Amino acid sequence: MSGFTWRWPLALLIGAIIIAVVVILVVRSTTRKRLTPDTATPTASTKPKATLQNDSRSTAPSTRAHRLPLVWNMAAMLKSGTVAQRYRLFRAACIGAVVLVALGLLASLGLVARPSTVDEDAQAESSRDIVLCLDVSGSALPFDREVIATYSQLVKSFKTERIALSIFNSTSRTVFPLTDDYSLVTKQLSAAMSALKGVQTQTDIDKMSDQQYQAISDWLSGTQNRKDATSLIGDGLVNCAAMVPGFSASANGSEKRNSPASIVFASDNVLSGSPLYTLQEALTIATKNDIHVDGLFTGASASENDATTVDMRTRVEAAGGTFLTRSQANSVDELVRSIESDKTKEAEQDAQINLADQPAPWIAALVILLGIAFVVEGWARR
């Protein structure tokens, strides 16, 4: 819980002003007329005047007679002492009662104003789902290590998002499903970068040891399960979209998600084979499922103006996404801004609903004040 706030602060403000005015009026009314101390002793002596004059103990002025006796109930205190002393006691009792009542009303107003805190757990439940979707075909693989590095930087900017990673060639493999365990995400991305270290150039591949080759082979396992087909772009994107809860291949786009979903789609868009879905069909299915798709070009820098690259850019941007290349220095910042901008009105409303009432301190204060009032009331009646 964090972010303390009041749901109805106006009620607390108005009530506090009214209570302050009442307290000021009561205090002023009790102090308007002041009594001068009564010099007479509280009780009259039964001795004759002559006897009093001859009594050596009465030659000095008595100070004890002007003090209230040490008693433990208000009734006795009001029956003893001078008039001024009794008046001061009565005035103090009135002011104390008013202050006690005012504090009790203030605590009650605090409950009426509904003190609340932001429920971070509830926020996490309604946060975004982000699928990192990576093309690991032969043409894209040498550049995938840079893309994984981009993914790693991207993850550092998230707090409550759920992250998933899927890699594809002719078929797809889930590296890890949607999770908010960022230590797991970081570990998996680091392992992917280590595995891809030896495939950035043909020279690197030629120098790979058997152990390194086995590591990259294990990491790519499950992405080449169709013969005579590689880099099925549209199929890979649909499989990534299917990782988002509530996905339906037959969605008609009539329903909106309560929490946004995004795909960071990294590919060079070099198709080889006959896919079940074209890139355009895959983007349409994602859009109908209310899934935002951003594109990240993973090919060589020299291919950024090729027809396949331009086609990918056109289709991604037409679907409402951001298209970036590896050579753009601000690619991570652009992706973060694009994902952040995909907050629907429903998600913003949910953020307001994620306020949890926190009445406990105010209830405790009210109980304590009531306890004090009962103790004082019992003391006054003794």
* Domain, as residue range, for 190: 122-353
Question: What whole-number distance in Å separates Cα of residue 98 and Cα of residue 112?
Answer: 21
Question: pTM of the prediction?
Answer: 0.58
Q: Are 114 and 16 contained in the same domain? A: yes
Q: Are 159 and 81 contained in the same domain? A: no
Phi, psi of 349 (to 5 degrees): -65, -40
- Alpha-carbon separation of residue 321 from 160, 292, 372 (angstroms): 22, 7, 63
Q: Are 85 and 159 contained in the same domain? A: no
Strands, E assignment, 281-339? 291-297, 323-325
Q: Are 35 and 96 contained in the same domain? A: yes
CB–CB of 362/111 below 8 Å?
Answer: yes
Phi, psi of 2 (to 5 degrees): -160, 170
CB atoms within 10 A of CB 183: 8
pLDDT values of the chain reduced to their tens digit, one per residue, 382 residues: 455 676 677 777 887 788 788 778 776 776 655 444 444 444 444 444 444 444 444 444 444 444 545 445 566 666 666 777 767 777 777 777 777 777 777 777 777 777 777 655 544 444 789 999 999 988 888 888 888 888 888 888 888 889 999 999 999 999 999 999 999 999 999 998 888 887 766 677 667 778 877 888 888 888 888 877 788 999 999 999 999 998 988 888 877 777 789 999 999 998 888 889 999 999 999 999 999 999 988 888 888 889 999 999 999 999 999 898 877 656 666 776 766 665 444 444 444 456 677 777 778 877 787 777 777 666 666 5
Q: Which residue has the tokens 């801004």?
A: 337
Q: Are 47 and 109 contained in the same domain? A: yes
Q: Are 144 and 207 contained in the same domain? A: yes
Count of the separate structural domains present in the chain: 2
Give the residue among 222, 261, 223, 226 at the shortest CA–CA distance from 243.
Answer: 261
Residue 289's H or E segment, with its range, is none
CB atoms within 10 A of CB 98: 17
Which DSSP symbol is given to 67? S
Q: Are 310 and 349 contained in the same domain? A: yes
Question: What whole-number distance in Å separates Cα of residue 240 and Cα of residue 232?
Answer: 13
Q: Are 163 and 289 contained in the same domain? A: yes
Q: Are 152 and 6 contained in the same domain? A: no
Q: Are 211 and 335 contained in the same domain? A: yes
First to last CA, the chain: 46
CA atoms within 13 A on the CB side of 2: 3
Strands, E assignment, the chain? 2-6, 115-118, 129-135, 162-168, 172-179, 261-267, 291-297, 323-325, 355-357
Q: Are 81 and 127 contained in the same domain? A: no
* CATH label of the domain that carries residue 277: 3.40.50.410
Q: Are 164 and 294 contained in the same domain? A: yes
3-state secondary structure of 34: coil
Q: Cβ-count burial of 377 within 10 angstroms (0-12 exposed, 13-18 middle, 19+ buried)?
A: exposed
